[in-house]
Structure 1
Amino acid sequence: MRFAYRIVTGVAGVALLAGTAACGGDEKEESSHGGDSRSDGGGDGAGTVEALQAAAENTADVRSARFEGEMNAPEAAGGQMTLEGVMSWDPTLTMEMTTSGGELASTPGAPEEVAVRWIDDVMYMHMGPEFGAEMDGREWLSMDLNAVAEIAGEAGDPAMADAMTMGLESTNQNPAQQMGLLLNSPGIEEVGEETLNGVETRHYAGTVTIEDAVAGDQGGVTELLTEEEVEQLVAAMEQQGIESYDIDVWIDGDDMPVQVRQSYDTVEGPVEYEVRYSDFNTDVSVDAPPADAVLDFMELLADMGAEL
């Protein structure tokens, strides 16, 4: 049913973008920072690795941040959407944000901007008073992403299962891990100096393939990513049909990543997005909505006599 599809794909998109992981290699993304500019960056390899190692080490001590981002993805992964909010990734991902665009916002009755809370792989979405009026006053819809991915797989819908899994896998990547992933690119280069929102930054870019991720240390990355984390990244890439990630990172004068842009091609189509960070180590406190205001997605399907 279309209603359920919009909800699930919308959540998949939120999960994917919220996880701030992406990759890719389409020509449009290369042209956005200038395909030739990578080779003309002028930074020496040793200096580039040192700069990224410093940023990775600094970010490894960070536990939370404010963020905003945009994503363009196939419909099965949420479509075109934006979001902003705060998140903490230690010990597990917790966030509160507002999303606009994409399948979730286009769900019948949903507001143009949807408030989302993420706690322990459960997403709570405020679907608004119009939705609540038809659901006994319950304006929040909850979804256990692991459960939905498992049921989608059992129901013979691998595309939907992959979309949900893609979002869950992406949440394993905090900014420090993104730095580690970029360090594993043998062709990483400095693009040059750029000013972003009044902040002076250095722009670095690289492409990471599955072979690169498996190859091991390319400049201290094993100190930033555990063997298990590397295995998770490789497994996620293979599952999603990703052959390579293009990653761009902008680092400020304090050696902190203030912007990450990634794009990649999947079996469902190209995915690309950009995330900007600020206010590192900000306080993040997220509570689940009151139980009597929440409708579980699986209950909704059961009430409608539908299957995922």
Structure 2
Amino acid sequence: MGMAAWKRVGVCLTAVAVVAGVAGCQDGDGGGTKKKAADSAGSGVQTQNEMTEVLQAAFKNTSDAKSSKVRMTMTVPAAAGGGTMEMSGVQGWDPAVMDVTMKGSALTAGDPDAPEQVRMIMLDQAMYMDMGAEQAAEMDGKRWMKMDFGAIAEASGDPEIQKQMTGGMENMNQDPAQQLALLLGSENLKHVGPEKVDGVQTQHYKGTLTIEEMLDANKALDGVFTAQEREQLVANMKKTGLKGYDTEVWVNEDNYPAKMVVGMQMDSGEMKMTAHYSDYGAAADVEAPPAKDTFDFMEMMKELEGLGADSEAGLDA
């Protein structure tokens, strides 16, 4: 596999990590309230009870919808590699699926031969990435690379990595409204006020979460880490310079999140994800690429290791 292909693998894995990390983490039934987000549009800042009712209603509605169309932009600070990535397509939850097309400077920077866009499919705890026609020519016509997260975690032989991978995949089963649930746990939740997003009236909310608060709210990690392991995980995250999460949500008149912005503050700068959601309940008929067009990342790595071992044996002889 050429260097350009490996670069695209790295970029897509970064995208997966970001999506998994901000996909939201708290379970709950959403309360069942029917209050409209726009009810307080003309009455100034909402009270704590009003904010809670709106966000709980949005959580329930979005959880029930199970899918939506998504348009997402991620920016990475220059010190961490830099670049922008745009993703658009459909996302489903319960079960977690995604079929998106990615483009942006994060894919093409420093590689004039890189494709302008890459399609990525996620389902059944695996990611499929279209590596392009050039890669297909090198792989017997197979242009789709499959990355099985469970197999990668198992092959690592590291229980810590396996636990983190398991937690990450559990997070991918969460829907966008989970950000609303996280906001409900923020001690400094604020109602910014009414704003228009994509031509529709919304109510804007914002809050911040520390690393500890994010992990406390992450029910997907319950029972995964011991207290000592959790403490080490927090320490490792802080070593990367991650200071916390700034979260903003715009809830439309039908109590669905129309837009979300999550910023992760680090020593190297801010990594930000901005997502626009629409067509809640849209069919997420995501299918894996045909097996005849797919090669497995882990199997390829094993073959490369075998070739390396054979070469060393030849030199020893």
TM-score normalised over the length of structure 1? 0.74
* 1:256 counterpart residue number: 256
* 2:90 counterpart residue number: 86
**1:93 CA displacement:** 0.8
Per-residue CA distance 1:40-62 (angstroms, 9 max, x = gap): x8333222222212212222212
**1:146 CA displacement:** 3.6
Percent identity for Structure 1 against Structure 2: 35
Distance in structure 1 (CA, Å) of the matches to 2:147 and 2:173 = 19
Q: Which amino acid aligns with 2:47?
A: D
Distance of aligned partners of 1:295 and 1:215 in 2 relative to their CA distance in 1, 3 Å threshold:
closer
Distance of aligned partners of 1:152 and 1:6 in 2 relative to their CA distance in 1, 3 Å threshold:
farther
Q: Which amino acid aligns with 1:185?
A: S
Contact 2:85 2:107 in 1 (8 A): no
* 1:6 counterpart residue number: 7
Q: After superposition, where does 1:47-58 map in structure 2 within 5 Å?
A: 47-58=50-61
* 1:70 counterpart residue number: 73
Distance of aligned partners of 1:10 and 1:165 in 2 relative to their CA distance in 1, 3 Å threshold:
farther
Distance in structure 2 (CA, Å) of the matches to 1:243 and 1:204 = 21
* 1:185 counterpart residue number: 186
Distance in structure 2 (CA, Å) of the matches to 1:303 and 1:228 = 35
**1:165 CA displacement:** 7.8
SS of aligned partner of 1:97: strand
Distance of aligned partners of 1:5 and 1:129 in 2 relative to their CA distance in 1, 3 Å threshold:
closer
**1:136 CA displacement:** 1.0
Distance in structure 2 (CA, Å) of the matches to 1:211 and 1:121 = 26
Which one of the candidate residues 121, 125, 130 is aligned to 2:134?
Answer: 130
* 2:29 counterpart residue number: none
* 1:240 counterpart residue number: 237
Distance in structure 2 (CA, Å) of the matches to 1:63 and 1:133 = 38
Contact 1:22 1:272 in 2 (8 A): no
Within the alignment, does 1:199 sit opposite 2:203 as a pair?
no
The more displaced of 126-135 and 228-237 is 228-237
SS of aligned partner of 2:45: coil
SS of aligned partner of 2:258: strand
Aligned CA RMSD, in angstroms, stands at 3.9
- Matched residue pairs, number? 276
Within the alignment, does 1:46 sit opposite 2:43 as a pair?
no
Distance of aligned partners of 1:56 and 1:101 in 2 relative to their CA distance in 1, 3 Å threshold:
same
* 2:99 counterpart residue number: 96
The more displaced of 274-283 and 101-110 is 101-110
Q: Unaligned 5+ residue runs, structure 1? A: 24-40, 217-224
Distance of aligned partners of 1:169 and 1:105 in 2 relative to their CA distance in 1, 3 Å threshold:
farther
* 2:284 counterpart residue number: 284
Contact 1:247 1:263 in 2 (8 A): yes
Contact 2:5 2:135 in 1 (8 A): no
SS of aligned partner of 2:119: strand
Contact 1:9 1:76 in 2 (8 A): no
* 2:275 counterpart residue number: 275
Per-residue CA distance 1:176-202 (angstroms, 9 max, x = gap): 321111100011011111111111111
Q: Which amino acid aligns with 1:58?
A: N
**1:163 CA displacement:** 10
**1:209 CA displacement:** 2.2
Per-residue CA distance 1:106-130 (angstroms, 9 max, x = gap): 6786521111111112111111111
Distance in structure 1 (CA, Å) of the matches to 2:216 and 2:19 = 28
TM-score normalised over the length of structure 2? 0.72
Distance in structure 1 (CA, Å) of the matches to 2:105 and 2:151 = 22
Per-residue CA distance 1:231-265 (angstroms, 9 max, x = gap): 77995973633442211000001111111110113
Contact 1:12 1:163 in 2 (8 A): no
SS of aligned partner of 1:287: coil
Q: Unaligned 5+ residue runs, structure 2? A: 25-43, 309-317
Distance of aligned partners of 1:265 and 1:79 in 2 relative to their CA distance in 1, 3 Å threshold:
same
Q: Which amino acid aligns with 1:240?
A: M
* 1:111 counterpart residue number: 115
* 1:221 counterpart residue number: none
Higher relative contact order (CA 8 A, sep 6+): 1
Q: Which amino acid aligns with 1:15?
A: V
**1:300 CA displacement:** 3.4
